[in-house]
């Protein structure tokens, strides 16, 4: 048996890749999983993404009365680090305990369409495979601002969740979803947070009223916003860093201990040698794929962030299912099957959304009814009052003729769970009236649908 040849080679230990590798390994296929760092077994989500950030959100929201901010933050970092270490070990064992799966730690570079060279220090190993899956994810983008890349005080989200000292003053570049989430988190930890963004409002892809509600909640937590501003330079100074920005034709500065850059992520394809494999990429560098996630080489697939699709762990998982269906199923499943994929931004309380916004519906000329209510005013929903979190709003966009839910924005306690019910209803054409008249457990957040979707709240 050729020990350097595999049925399946997966490059990158992310959600979709590891699940696919385990599935085929249990079927007896020879599988190699290549990951460039032992600190990333399990992928972005459990190590530097969803799990650690949501762990820190939980700790930030639950600071014991009387505990010093710095000490609470340090303990939260330690607890989160312990959690990710346990999960990383579990993820490694998930593959390592399968006899036909081999985990290889090192950097992968294509030599040709079927051969990959793996390097770790001076060690070099060439392996080949019948099927190859690229699952290398994405990396934070550092904008080309003078002084930014060379500063000792500039952090990405990966860096920030690794330091165990709480910045007294934190400037966040970017008011999108990542920026809003970290602003909420660190304001609750006790940092003085300032958000700089060129847009006229934060989370700018949301409806204006939803964005304003998020801004109001963050502002109430102490976050300061400097919007419609352009960062022109940063410079390290004694005790920290200064950020120079232009706003309304006036140049101003803000001082900080640390800067978090939250201006987007780029696909991680650099150094993979895709040209040697004959794999085409898009203008943004993403691996070009069809609806079955095949690249320009039919035996090479790309799943997760690296194919340029939505950057969510659950999309990576579904990508893995699509490829699995090509390899061991009937080959019919594709990205075209996806409808009404929800997402959540873990500000406090969380913002969750699915479908189209009111703005998008009106731009399309759709005849809609909008149902909207502040969480504090939803009488049939006592759970927010029970847990002491009454901030936020709920909003539904409904087709006036068909009564189908076209979209929803839920800024509320438990919204990350509620949105899945709404998305499922939308996929199966459950009407807004059916959601309104359903029987829900009590006291639960789902009960809000009984009241929010009433005609009295519509416009």
CB of 143 within 8 A of CB of 156?
A: no
Give the pairing of strands 224-226 and 230-237.
unpaired
**Cβ neighbourhood burial of 130 (10 Å; 0-12, 13-18, 19+):** middle
- Residue whose entry in the numeric block shows the structure tokens 């003729």: 401
Helices (H), 151-207: 157-160, 177-189
Q: Residue 351: which of 170, 218, 191 has the closest Cα?
A: 218
| DSSP letter (8 states) at residue 294 | B
Q: Which one of 5, 58, 153, 442 is the catalytic residue?
A: 442
Number of H helices, E strands in the chain: 14, 22
**Cβ neighbourhood burial of 388 (10 Å; 0-12, 13-18, 19+):** exposed
Q: What is the gyration radius of the CA atoms in the chain, in angstroms?
A: 24
Contacts of 167 (CB under 8 A, 6+ apart): 186, 191, 256, 257, 258
How far is Cα 451 from Cα 159, in angstroms, rounded to an integer? 43
C-beta atoms surrounding 366 within 10 Å: 15
Q: What is the signed CA dihedral for 292, 296, 298, 300, rounded to 10 degrees?
A: -80
**Cβ neighbourhood burial of 365 (10 Å; 0-12, 13-18, 19+):** exposed
73 carries an active-site annotation? no
Query: 264 is written with which tokens?
Result: 């987007």
CB of 224 within 8 A of CB of 231?
A: no
How far is Cα 104 from Cα 124, in angstroms, rounded to an integer? 11
- Residue whose entry in the numeric block shows the structure tokens 């976050």: 223
How far is Cα 244 from Cα 254, in angstroms, rounded to an integer? 7
Q: What are phi and psi of 104, to 5 degrees?
A: -120, 125
Catalytic center residues: 442
């Amino acid at each position: 048996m050729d020990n350097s040849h595999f049925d399946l080679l997966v490059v990158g230990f992310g959600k979709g890749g590891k699940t696919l590798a385990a599935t085929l390994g249990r079927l007896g296929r020879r599988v190699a999983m290549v990951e460039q760092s032992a600190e990333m077994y399990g992928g972005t989500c459990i190590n530097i993404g969803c799990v650690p950030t949501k762990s820190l959100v939980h700790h930030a929201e639950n600071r014991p009365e009387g505990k010093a901010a710095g000490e609470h933050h340090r303990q939260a970092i330690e607890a989160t680090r312990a959690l990710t270490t346990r999960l990383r070990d579990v993820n490694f064992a998930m593959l390592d305990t399968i006899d036909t799966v081999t985990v290889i730690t090192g950097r992968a570079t294509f030599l040709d369409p079927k051969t990959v060279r793996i390097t770790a220090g001076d060690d070099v190993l060439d392996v080949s495979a019948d099927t190859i899956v690229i699952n290398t994810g994405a990396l934070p983008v550092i904008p080309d601002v003078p002084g930014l890349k060379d500063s000792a005080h500039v952090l990405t989200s990966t860096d920030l969740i690794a330091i165990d000292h709480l910045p007294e003053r934190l400037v966040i570049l970017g008011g999108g979803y990542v920026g809003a989430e970290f602003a909420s988190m660190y304001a609750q930890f006790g940092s003085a947070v300032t958000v700089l963004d060129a847009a006229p409002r934060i989370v700018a892809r949301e409806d204006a009223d939803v964005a304003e509600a998020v801004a109001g909640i963050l502002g109430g937590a102490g976050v300061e916003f400097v919007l419609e501003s352009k960062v022109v330079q940063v410079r390290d100074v004694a005790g920290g860093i200064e950020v120079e920005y232009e706003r309304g034709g006036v140049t101003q500065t803000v001082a900080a201990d640390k800067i978090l850059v939250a201006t987007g992520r780029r696909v991680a394809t650099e150094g993979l040698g895709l040209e040697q494999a004959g794999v085409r990429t898009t203008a943004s560098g993403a691996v070009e794929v069809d609806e079955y996630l095949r690249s320009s080489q039919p035996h090479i697939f790309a799943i997760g962030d690296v194919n340029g699709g939505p950057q969510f762990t659950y999309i990576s998982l579904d990508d893995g299912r699509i490829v699995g269906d090509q390899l061991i199923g009937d080959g019919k499943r594709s990205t075209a099957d996806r409808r009404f994929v929800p997402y959540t931004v873990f500000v406090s309380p969380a913002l969750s959304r699915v479908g189209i916004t009111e703005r998008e519906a009106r731009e399309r000329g759709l005849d809609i009814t909008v149902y909207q209510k502040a969480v504090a005013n939803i009488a049939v929903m006592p759970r927010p009052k029970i847990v002491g979190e009454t901030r936020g709003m709920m909003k539904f966009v409904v087709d006036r003729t068909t009564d189908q839910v076209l979209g929803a924005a839920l800024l509320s306690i438990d919204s990350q769970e509620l949105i899945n019910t709404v998305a499922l209803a939308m996929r199966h054409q459950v009407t807004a009236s059916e959601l309104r008249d359903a029987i829900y457990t009590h006291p639960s957040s789902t009960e809000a649908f009984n009241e929010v979707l009433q005609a009295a709240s519509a416009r």
